[in-house]
Amino acid sequence: MKFRLILFLSILANLSCAQNPSSKAITSVTQNELSEVILLDVRTPEEYSQGHLENALNINWFDADFDKQVEKIDKDETIYVYCKVGGRSAKAQQKLLTLGYKNVVNLDGGYDAWRSKNNK
């Protein structure tokens, strides 16, 4: 009985690890890598207008119709999502996964980290 419980718990742990969303430090992403994915900026339009990553699509996380707006993105595409520091993008990543998007990567550190690295 004890063996079965340990086996069950180890299988459960492996499954939960496999389902964890992926994330990557925004400072480690290359421009070449960004050109091969859908880049989604979930900040407000005001934040976006003050600076954003090249070719980023802006869909405001706070918009009531966020779900509807992201429908224009193919669910099989790889999506890199970022915000100011990482909180909204993590929530947006979870939402996209629940909507059936298959490969969504949260860019940890957000635009602030990217700007700090690239303004040195």
CB distance 73 to 104 below 8 Å = no
Q: What is the DSSP string of 52-78?
A: --TT-EE--TTSTTHHHHHTTS-TTSE
Q: How far apart are CA 36 and CA 55, in angstroms?
A: 11
Closest CA to 40 of 91, 100, 98: 91
Instruction: Compute how many other C-beta atoms are within 10 angstroms of the C-beta atom of residue 48.
Output: 18
The active-site residue out of 83, 96, 104, 107 is: 83
How confident is the prediction along the chain (120 residues), in pLDDT tens digits per residue? 665 545 455 554 444 444 446 999 999 999 899 999 999 999 999 999 999 999 999 999 999 999 999 999 999 999 999 999 999 999 999 999 999 999 999 999 999 999 999 886
Question: What's the confidence (pLDDT) of residue 119?
Answer: 84
What's the pTM value of the predicted model, to 2 decimals?
A: 0.81
22-118 classified as CATH 3.40.250.10: yes
Map out the domains of the chain as residue ranges: 22-118
Question: What's the confidence (pLDDT) of residue 10?
Answer: 53
Active site residue 83: yes
Question: What's the confidence (pLDDT) of residue 92?
Answer: 98
